[in-house]
Amino acid sequence: MSWPSTPKSDYRPDPSSEYWDAHQETRSPAERREDILEKINEQVRYAYDNSEFYREFYADVDINPRDITSFEEFEQLPILRSEDIKQEQKKHPPFGRFLCIDEEDIARVYGTSGTTGQPKVFGIGEEDWNRIGEWHAQILWSVGIRPDDRIIITSPFIQYLGSWGALAGVDHIGCTTFPFGAGMEGQTQQAVEWISNLQPDALYGTPSYALYLGETAKENGYIPAEDFSFKVMFFSGEPGASIPSTRQEIETMFDCEVIDQGSMAEMTPWMSNSGCQHLDNGMHVWNDIVYTELLDPSTEAHLEYGEEGVPTYTHLERTSQPMIRYWSGDITMWERHDETGCDCGRTYPTLPKGVYGRVDDMLVVRGKNIFPSEIEDQLHALDDFGDEFRIVVEKEGALDSLQLVVEIADNTVTSVDEFHDVVRTAIKSEVGVTPNVTIVPQGELDRTQFKADRVKDKRDLAVDI
């Protein structure tokens, strides 16, 4: 095996082909595991030989990081967390000692926004960036994107890797690409006009933004399902595309297929979790592109199929800034490929409910574990929902109080009182806690042009006196 692989810049399958690489995508899981283990061995040895950080990080392990011969050995390597990256990059700015190539060979620099503290920095070499483009192309092929498609990207072209990763993939396929962006004042209004004018076949963005775009189109006299010609929308950055009612709402609004995608910016190629054009909900885990383990949130023990835990990712072919056993902090549940029953024929594991929360986002209210995505699912399933909501958790005396602010649709005949009771009953039956509900008119709550921020947990701020 030659490691790392060389991207084949001019390769494209026949447009009628289901697969980019039929053997890779449909081989038996056992055969795939052999290939993954070889790549893990090469990747870990490379990182150990070239990164002072990893030599220190693995100083106390009982196995030889230069010769990993089994998954059991690999699982003895310590888990890398976000905090480890931040501390290392603080001590050795800007990249930390993760970097395995010369700084002058970095082609792209990306990072996290740092809104919740110190930003993380990702240096990506040219060959790595080309491989990311090729893998994203391969995965987007499974989504149904083809060279004659016209694509609009409606997420911000800032340090957010989502936009750039989607762009690299559609460019590699050879699509006609319109990197429109988002986030500027009045840009959504313009997006509606451009979409009407250009009639793109596909859109990339966030699910929240797609709903906002649809609402804006309607306010301007368009009927998105009739006046636009989207066949598919692919999303990342939020769980919405695998929340059944949100997904259904977007599919109905635009009369198109919705595809969920995404892992972590640290791990780009982040499309290694992706729906395909046959999967009704959720994502396949392309674990021969980014190796993925599912670990128990508390004990870090390996979880079998059918269980819920934290996806932990390992680059398999990264020469610039490899991430090995990177703890995502997300929560998901996985299934064996043959339990999912997807018609595509791929033999990857599947996350049937997508990535539906973060360990840190799980709200524990009166002893119940609640993910904001569960509340979103219930609300979008209600006919009179006005498309936006907020969750506030506070202390009321000794008890936690779950408060919801929910918009009621403009065009409904249902009264506010009736809708209030419907919301309260629906949420109580889903999460087991009766919420205090406030109903507000549609349009009252701010819309997002990027990722939604709908949850406020005020309990940490409470001071007992």
Instruction: Tell me which residues touch Zn ion (CB under 5 A).
Output: 276, 278-279, 342, 344
Instruction: Give the shortest CB-274-to-Zn ion separation in angstroms.
Output: 9
CA separation for the pair 22, 2 (Å, rounded): 20
Pairing of strands 273-274, 257-260: unpaired
Pick 217 or 342: Cβ nearer Zn ion: 342
What residue is closest to Zn ion based on CB? 344
Instruction: Give the shortest CB-19-to-Zn ion separation in angstroms.
Output: 11
Cβ neighbours of residue 16 under 8 Å, at least 6 residues apart? none
Instruction: Give the shortest CB-284-to-Zn ion separation in angstroms.
Output: 6
CA separation for the pair 198, 151 (Å, rounded): 10
Instruction: Give the shortest CB-350-to-Zn ion separation in angstroms.
Output: 8
Which of the 8 DSSP states describes residue 319? S
Q: Which amino acid is at 147?
A: P
Cβ neighbours of residue 342 under 8 Å, at least 6 residues apart? 276, 278, 279, 284, 350
Instruction: Give the shortest CB-340-to-Zn ion separation in angstroms.
Output: 8
Main-chain dihedrals φ then ψ at residue 276, nearest 5 degrees: -125, 180
Pick 142 or 177: Cβ nearer Zn ion: 142
Cβ(76)–Cβ(127) below 8 Å: no
Assigned token pair, 242: 């695998």
Pick 137 or 276: Cβ nearer Zn ion: 276
Cβ(288)–Cβ(24) below 8 Å: yes
Main-chain dihedrals φ then ψ at residue 213, nearest 5 degrees: -60, -45
CA separation for the pair 38, 70 (Å, rounded): 9
Instruction: Give the shortest CB-68-to-Zn ion separation in angstroms.
Output: 30
CA separation for the pair 252, 295 (Å, rounded): 36
Pick 32 or 150: Cβ nearer Zn ion: 32
Pick 22 or 184: Cβ nearer Zn ion: 22
Pick 282 or 386: Cβ nearer Zn ion: 282
Q: Which amino acid is at 310?
A: V
The number of C-alpha atoms within 13 Å of 18 and in the hemisphere containing its C-beta is 12
Pick 195 or 259: Cβ nearer Zn ion: 259
Pick 210 or 279: Cβ nearer Zn ion: 279
Instruction: Give the shortest CB-141-to-Zn ion separation in angstroms.
Output: 12
CA separation for the pair 61, 325 (Å, rounded): 14
Instruction: Give the shortest CB-335-to-Zn ion separation in angstroms.
Output: 12
Main-chain dihedrals φ then ψ at residue 347, nearest 5 degrees: -110, 30
Cis bond leading into 269, ω under 30°? yes
Instruction: Give the shortest CB-381-to-Zn ion separation in angstroms.
Output: 25
Pick 344 or 406: Cβ nearer Zn ion: 344
Pick 120 or 284: Cβ nearer Zn ion: 284
Instruction: Give the shortest CB-278-to-Zn ion separation in angstroms.
Output: 5
CA separation for the pair 432, 364 (Å, rounded): 11
Assigned token pair, 79: 């888990």
